[in-house]
């Protein structure tokens, strides 16, 4: 009688040929246990050290200050102060570059440290806690999934619900998602929380963000700051004694040249180990366009969108307009009582909105904070086909004009810079949801739902700008 197949399942009862002669067994319910503490982590990205009131800001943050007053504040720590990398390091306990998130998750730059996606063999805090019996939940901003993988129809391996969102003394996972887990870089600071006199668990740590570099070891920090968009200076290192100068105000490199050389060499080793290279301090627009041909892909001949649709995802809209000429046609009915947004592409970071106000058709172009408006066009009651023709001229410059029922109503006017892949929303028809393209319009009218009938909107992509980095689409 071979019961090995039953034993292999972990079954601890007894199995005979009949139910009457057998003993059932149920595994104990998975749970963290009554003594396990509740854990709440509040994470705020893109902040400076002195932004909260408890660190000296003139801005009042009473709730945060109250937590700090009853808890602990730290001034000797390392972070990666832009959203995706800081969140990836917090979630995984690993250096951000080593888990593919050396910069924003929006864009895959084509290098291992900058894929924009946390690998499946890097367990998140939520996955570890869930394996230890915790129920997990996340509220708020995720921003650790590349833009093209944010569609409901895309692969969802890097969505929050696939990365553990559903450890005190819960062992770090050695196997996760069928893979051997990556080395854990984080160290527990529980001893410091319990005792202010406890020694720091962290003796050395590298840092890199937008080519600004640093290496910390036993109270010493070597630091190299770069100007964005300028040639990178690999040798402009300074040295700081954080035990005497935690604000990094005094350069003591000339007094301790050997220490500085050691830390610079240690940074180089850590950079190769953690996939930091190549350094990239180009401008935001340049970085957002890097590798975008792969992310954006080739645009179809045209796309038609029906009135009443939900927000069309940016992954659908971006290929139609990114650094290229394009035409947007909107068919709608106008009565002298009608007003509101006809269509809006993008949001407060960058985009275009066409709307009717006081009997006139108006267009606002948000070129990443540089606003332009075409002259308003008077409308006549009845069926209207409003067309925006946009021409990408090269060097991120462009121009546009408005036609009504095929007749030019505004001459060509500069609308620059051309839009790339940096905005987070796609197309709205009949209103401007969420973060608006124009805050001026939103402050007067809110989402500004159109009061009449909209037949539909069509976007026709044209040629790429002559010097566009988005080649091939």
pLDDT at 169: 40
Cross-strand bridge partners of residue 428: 344
Residue spans per domain, the chain: 204-274, 303-464
Average pLDDT in the 272-287 region? 86
Distance CA 52, CA 143 (A): 23
Residues 440-463 pLDDT 10s: 999 999 999 999 999 999 999 999
* Coil, helix or strand at residue 54: helix
Report pLDDT for 167: 34
Let me know: does 360 contact 378? Beta carbons within 8 Å.
yes
Please state which CATH number belongs to domain 204-274: 3.30.1120.10
302-357 pLDDT per residue, tens: 999 999 999 998 888 988 998 899 999 999 999 999 999 999 999 998 999 999 99
For the stretch 243-273, pLDDT in tens is 999 899 999 999 999 999 999 999 999 999 9
Lowest mean pLDDT among 98-102, 168-172, 384-388: 168-172
Strand (E) or helix (H) holding 441: helix 439-445
Instruction: Tell me what pLDDT residue 293 has.
Output: 47
pLDDT in tens, 43-88: 888 788 888 999 989 988 999 999 999 998 888 777 888 889 999 9
Distance CA 107, CA 46 (A): 18
pLDDT tier at 470, thresholds 50, 70, 90? low
CATH class of 303-464: mainly beta
Rounded to the nearest 5 percent, the helix, strand and coil shares of the chain are 20, 25, 55
- How many Å apart are CA 227 and CA 50, to the nearest integer? 22
pLDDT tens, residue by residue, 136-195:
888 888 888 877 777 776 777 777 777 777 633 446 677 777 788 887 787 777 787 777
Long-range contacts of 222-227 (CB under 8 A, 24+ apart): 222/253, 222/260, 222/263, 222/264, 222/267, 223/248, 226/281, 227/281
pLDDT digits (tens, 9 = 90+) for 348-377: 989 999 999 999 999 999 998 899 999 999
């Amino acid at each position: 009688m071979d019961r090995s197949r039953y034993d292999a399942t972990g079954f601890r009862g007894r199995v005979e040929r009949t139910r009457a002669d057998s003993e059932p067994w149920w595994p104990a319910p998975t749970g963290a246990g009554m003594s396990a503490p509740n854990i709440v982590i509040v994470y705020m990205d893109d902040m400076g050290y002195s932004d909260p009131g408890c660190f000296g800001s003139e801005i009042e943050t009473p709730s945060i200050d109250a937590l700090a007053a009853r808890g602990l504040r730290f001034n000797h720590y390392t972070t990666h102060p832009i959203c995706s990398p800081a969140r990836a390091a917090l979630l995984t306990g690993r250096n951000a570059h080593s888990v593919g998130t050396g910069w924003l998750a929006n864009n895959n730059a084509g290098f291992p440290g900058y894929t924009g996606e946390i690998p499946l063999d890097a367990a998140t805090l939520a996955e570890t806690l869930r394996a230890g019996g915790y129920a997990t939940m996340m509220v708020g901003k995720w921003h650790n999934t590349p833009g093209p993988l944010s569609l409901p129809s895309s692969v969802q391996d890097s969505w929050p619900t696939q990365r553990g969102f559903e450890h005190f003394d819960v062992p770090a996972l050695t196997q996760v998602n069928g893979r051997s887990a990556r080395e854990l870089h984080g160290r527990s600071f529980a001893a410091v929380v319990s005792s202010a006199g406890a020694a720091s668990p962290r003796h050395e740590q590298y840092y890199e963000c937008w080519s600004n570099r640093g290496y910390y070891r036993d109270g010493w920090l070597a630091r190299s700051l770069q100007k964005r968009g300028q040639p990178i200076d690999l040798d402009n290192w300074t040295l700081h004694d954080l035990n005497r100068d935690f604000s990094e105000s005094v350069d003591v490199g000339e007094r301790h040249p050997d220490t500085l050389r050691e830390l610079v060499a240690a940074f180089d080793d850590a950079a190769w180990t953690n996939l930091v290279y190549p350094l990239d301090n180009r401008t935001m627009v340049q970085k957002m366009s890097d590798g975008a041909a792969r992310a954006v892909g080739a645009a179809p001949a045209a796309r038609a969108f029906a009135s009443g649709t939900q927000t069309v995802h940016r992954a659908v809209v971006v290929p139609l307009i990114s650094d290229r000429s394009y035409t947007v046609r909107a068919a709608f009915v106008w009565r002298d009582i009608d007003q509101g947004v006809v269509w809006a592409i993008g949001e407060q970071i960058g985009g275009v909105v066409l709307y009717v106000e006081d009997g006139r058709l108006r267009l606002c172009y948000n070129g990443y904070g540089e606003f332009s408006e075409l002259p308003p066009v008077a409308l006549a009651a009845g069926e209207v086909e409003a067309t925006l023709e946009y021409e990408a001229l090269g060097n991120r410059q462009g121009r546009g004009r408005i036609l009504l029922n095929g007749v030019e109503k505004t001459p060509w006017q500069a609308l620059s810079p051309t839009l790339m892949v940096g905005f987070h929303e796609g197309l709205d028809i009949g209103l401007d949801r969420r973060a608006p393209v124009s805050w001026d319009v939103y402050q007067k009218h809110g989402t500004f739902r159109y009061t009449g009938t909209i037949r539909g909107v069509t976007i026709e992509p044209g040629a790429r700008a002559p010097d566009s980095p988005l080649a091939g689409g």
